[in-house]
Amino acid sequence: MNEILHNALKDFHIEDFQKSLVNWYEAEKRDLPWRRTNDPYKIWVSEVMLQQTRVDTVIPYYNRFLEKFPTLQDFAEAQEDEILKAWEGLGYYSRVRNLQSAVREVAEIYEGRVPENIDEFQALKGVGPYTAGAVMSIAFNKPEPAVDGNVMRVFSRIFSIEEDIAKPKTRKLFEELVKEVIDPENPSPFNQGIMELGALICTPQAPSCLLCPVREHCKGFHEGKETMLPIKQTKKKIKNKKWIAAIVMTDTGEFVIRKRPRTGLLASMWEYPNWERDEGDARNLETFRLSLKEELGMDIQTMEPLTTVKHVFSHVEWEMDAYVVKGLLHHKINSPYLQVQESQLAQYAFPVPFQKMWEAYKNTLVNSGKGS
DNA sequence: CATCCGTGGGT
DNA sequence: TACCCAAGGAT
């Protein structure tokens, strides 16, 4: 066993720790929708939604999702636009496409039953070490580690571990540590207990150590280092990208939208037509007119400034100058473009920056007395 | 291993 | 305002 592990476990009362944690979890756990089921499909859905996403954000999405796709088979048979719409606003959209790909594989290869073998399950798309361990332990009560940010923070403090939790290698260290201390009789409440502790007590800022059920086991607390842990390398600054975009309405009163490429940022989501813009280039607007004319075959009648939308993603920032364009379409437009009635817009999934743009458009209609 | 991939809330 | 953070995974 490696040095850090050996050191961490020295003088650590494993069984007392397990009991204190599991008892606290059973007494204090929140009543969350995915804790009311044993269906591995539903637990799987919850775990994917919860990746890098807060509980309060997930709850309404989870409920709506399972209302729409109650069974694994229902979700396997759904159309891409349907599943993206169900995920709209939740972010990290490849999660839902990977989830469907994985679910379809389960439907076809495993006769619709979620594999109980962790290696088979983790081989599915979108299922990494954390999700595999979480579903195996929570749905099937298997003693597998499920190391997320909570677990690394809580265990960094309990064992006073100063490894950088931003480094991939560190997650493996914590997996080994969990394997040593997990309660083999109660893997599900143990794993969920650590995460619940991280969410309710052992929080990133100002942990409530005086309320902590495992305080007496916490080396970081005893050393007065709990607020110094975990150690995490800071990430670098994000870049800025500038766009010019438009709400385009045709002479027939329809709106022009566009499907984004299958890969990359906001993959397969819908958007309003937009092109990259060069800062300080006076020809931006003229280039924009040309793009609309050439790509859409549109004669522009009016073009008025709408708003500027700023949106910060995980690694890039957008600044979109938005316009409202009205024009004549001479030909049928081609994929990836689509012209739809306003009443049909709601069935297409738009990422947040374009939702902001549409809201601004609706507001101008209301303010100018043209709204409904 | 570093970077890409969303969004909203907290300080 | 400018960060940080939240039940990560793919490439």
pLDDT tens-place string over residues A228-275: 999 998 777 889 999 999 999 999 999 999 999 999 999 999 999 999
Q: How many angstroms is C1' of B9 away from CA of A245?
A: 28
List, as own/partner pairs, every contact residues A31-39 make where C-beta atoms lie below 8 angstroms and the sequence separation is at least 24, other chains included. Answer: A32/A59, A33/A59, A33/A62, A33/A63, A34/A62, A38/A139, A39/A139
Closest residue to B10 (CA, C1′): A205
A366 has a pLDDT exceeding 80: no
- The mean pLDDT of A195-221, rounded to a whole number, is 96
Cα separation, A301 vs A245, in Å, equals 16
Catalytic residue among A3, A15, A28, A47: A47
Nucleotides of C strand lying within 7 Å of any protein CB atom: 3-10
Q: What is the mean pLDDT of chain A?
A: 94
- The mean pLDDT of A101-120, rounded to a whole number, is 98
Cα separation, A162 vs A171, in Å, equals 13
Q: Which residue has the tokens 């949106």?
A: A311
What's the pLDDT at A372? 39
What's the pLDDT at A367? 74
Domain A3-223 CATH (choose: 1.10.150.120, 1.10.340.30, 1.10.600.10, 3.30.110.30): 1.10.340.30
Q: How many angstroms is C1' of C7 away from CA of A153?
A: 13
Rounded to two decimals, what is the model's pTM?
0.96
Closest residue to C11 (CA, C1′): A264
Residue A276 known to be catalytic: no
pLDDT digits (tens, 9 = 90+) for A6-33: 988 999 999 999 999 999 999 999 999 9
pLDDT digits (tens, 9 = 90+) for A262-272: 999 999 999 99
Q: How many angstroms is C1' of B3 away from CA of A234?
A: 14
What's the pLDDT at A371? 43
Closest residue to B7 (CA, C1′): A91
Q: Which CATH superfamily does the domain covering A239-370 fall into?
A: Nucleoside Triphosphate Pyrophosphohydrolase (3.90.79.10)
Q: Give the nucleotide at minimum CA-to-C1' distance from A147.
A: C7
What's the pLDDT at A331? 80
Q: How many angstroms is C1' of C6 away from CA of A240?
A: 24
Closest residue to B5 (CA, C1′): A92
Cα separation, A159 vs A263, in Å, equals 41
Residue A257's alpha-carbon distances to A269, A271, A348, in angstroms, are: 10, 6, 9
Give the torsion sign (CA, A125, A126, A129, A134). Answer: negative
**Amino acid, res. A53:** T
What's the pLDDT at A65? 98
- The mean pLDDT of A304-313, rounded to a whole number, is 96
A286 has a pLDDT exceeding 50: yes
* Range of lowest pLDDT (A171-185, A262-276, A354-368): A354-368
What confidence category does residue A369 fall into, taking pLDDT thresholds of 50, 70 and 90?
Answer: low
Q: How many angstroms is C1' of B5 away from CA of A154?
A: 26
The domain ranges of chain A are 3-223, 239-370
A55 has a pLDDT exceeding 50: yes
